[in-house]
Amino acid sequence: MADVAREAGVSVATAGRALGNYGRVRDDLREQVQAAAERLGYSPNAVARSMRSGGTRSIGFVGADISNPYFATAMRGICDVAREQGYEPILANSDDRLEVERAAVSVLLDKQVEGIVVAPTSVTDVAHLERAMELGVPIVLLDRHIGALAADSVVIDNEAAAYEAVAHLLGLGHRRVGLLACVDPAEGPELAARTGTGRLTVRGAARPSIDRIRGYLAAVDDHRATSSAELIQYTPLSDAAQAQRRAEALLTQPQPPTAVFATDNVTTQGLFMAARRRGLAIPADVSLVGFDDLDWTTLVDPPLTVVAQSPLDMGRAAAVRLFERIKGDDRPAERIVLPTELVVRSSTAEHSHGVREHSG
């Protein structure tokens, strides 16, 4: 910039004002400076600017895995909003591992990002997020709410969404509804018999998959349908092959469920593959409800009934709220709940009370 100032015959201060669009500069001088800058191919150094002003015009996004369609689409929403605001997002994958998330947040903080959207791995271990907020870097939680943290969150009503899905199956006359849930073994959800009724309840933190189990159990309970641990299978990781094996176990037990609800897109895929591999007709032999309205669910035969959410809108909403915070909004933290929709297609049908046989 010193060169530009010299070339234009003004001081660096004036050059700075002309190029940085601050302070007052006479019009002819401004043009002179801009011309000089053009000639010399000057472009501003954002690092120096950040150093001086404190603002980096960067935000961070920490998610489990950007190659997962949910996060990729959410990231798209975040990018769009960031760009409107003149900000750039820095991306970090946590692989759903707490220590990786911690390290990522720490690096982002060192890089002086002005805010962070994070899909948190843990719902209890939040010291790193608290530290960010103490440092004045706002945090917006995506996909998971953390009660213990005074941060905004953008979520869906997991329990209600699951309830609606399962109630749909029960409304079709199904009495034995299976559940294929994707839960981290570290979460350690425990099924426990509810005193008196013999029905089940679940213990564990407020996390999407566990809330979805809660919704399932509540629906089963309300409709006085069969409540049994044998109707529930967990699959530990985002691993479709593993999910498929669990689904097959579910479908091939002596008294198999006549309908199954899967709690996320990976288990949905595993469930669908398992049913097909076992030669079960959908929905004649089993009804299926999946989670997440991915393209492929309309491409398969039959098209799947699913619970739809909008990761694009969730990413957008998270970013919008983040920028409100960056601009100084200090209202109490809010839990922003976006809608879900049960999209009924052809994988669910009335329970036929006739005899059903398959190779299981």
Q: Which of 82, 5, 56, 13 is nearest to 315 (CA)?
A: 82
The interface region with a second copy, picked from 204-212, 283-291, 298-306, 318-326 by CB under 8 A, is 298-306
Choice between 3 and 334, CB closer to DNA: 3
- Greatest alpha-carbon span in the chain: 93
Applying CB under 8 A, does 357 fall inside the site for a second copy? no
C-alpha dihedral, 193 to 194 to 198 to 199, nearest 10°: -90
The interface region with a second copy, picked from 26-34, 46-54, 139-147, 181-189 by CB under 8 A, is 46-54
Token duo for residue 285: 């032999």
Applying CB under 7 A, does 48 fall inside the site for DNA? yes
To the nearest whole angstrom, how small is the minimum distance from the Cβ of residue 1 to a second copy? 13
The interface region with a second copy, picked from 29-37, 208-216, 296-304, 346-354 by CB under 8 A, is 296-304
Among 39, 111, 203, 327, binds a second copy (CB under 8 A): 111
Residue 62 near residue 119, CB atoms below 8 Å: yes
Q: Partners of 92 in the beta sheet?
A: 62
Applying CB under 8 A, does 75 fall inside the site for a second copy? yes
- Phi, psi of 249, rounded to the nearest 5 degrees: -60, -40
Rounded Cα distance, 342 and 305, in Å: 7
Applying CB under 8 A, does 93 fall inside the site for a second copy? yes
Question: What are the distances in angstroms from CA 196 to CA 184, 193, 199?
Answer: 30, 9, 8
Interaction mask 157-196, a second copy, x per CB under 8 A: ----------------------------------------
Binders of DNA in range 16-35 (CB under 7 A): 16-17, 19-20, 22-26, 29
Beta-carbon contacts of 107 under 8 Å, excluding residues fewer than 6 positions away, are 92
Applying CB under 8 A, does 112 fall inside the site for a second copy? yes
Rounded Cα distance, 24 and 299, in Å: 61
| Residue 121, CB-side half-sphere exposure with 13 Å CA sphere | 23
Applying CB under 7 A, does 136 fall inside the site for DNA? no
109 binds, among DNA, a second copy, none (CB under 5 to 8 A by kind): a second copy
Applying CB under 7 A, does 45 fall inside the site for DNA? yes
Angle at CA 160, nearest 5°, toward 158 and 161? 65
352 binds, among DNA, a second copy, none (CB under 5 to 8 A by kind): none
Among 2, 47, 127, 192, binds a second copy (CB under 8 A): 47
Applying CB under 7 A, does 53 fall inside the site for DNA? yes
Applying CB under 8 A, does 50 fall inside the site for a second copy? yes
Among 1, 90, 172, 312, binds DNA (CB under 7 A): 1
299 binds, among a second copy, DNA, none (CB under 5 to 8 A by kind): a second copy
User: Around Cβ 51, how many Cβ atoms within 10 Å?
Assistant: 11
In 31-77, beta strands by DSSP E: 58-63
In the chain, beta strands by DSSP E: 58-63, 88-93, 116-118, 139-142, 152-156, 177-182, 190-193, 200-203, 232-235, 259-262, 287-291, 305-308, 335-338, 341-343
Choice between 18 and 200, CB closer to DNA: 18
Applying CB under 8 A, does 252 fall inside the site for a second copy? no
Footprint on this chain of DNA (rule: CB under 7 A):
1-2, 10-14, 16-17, 19-20, 22-26, 29, 42, 44-45, 48-49, 51-53
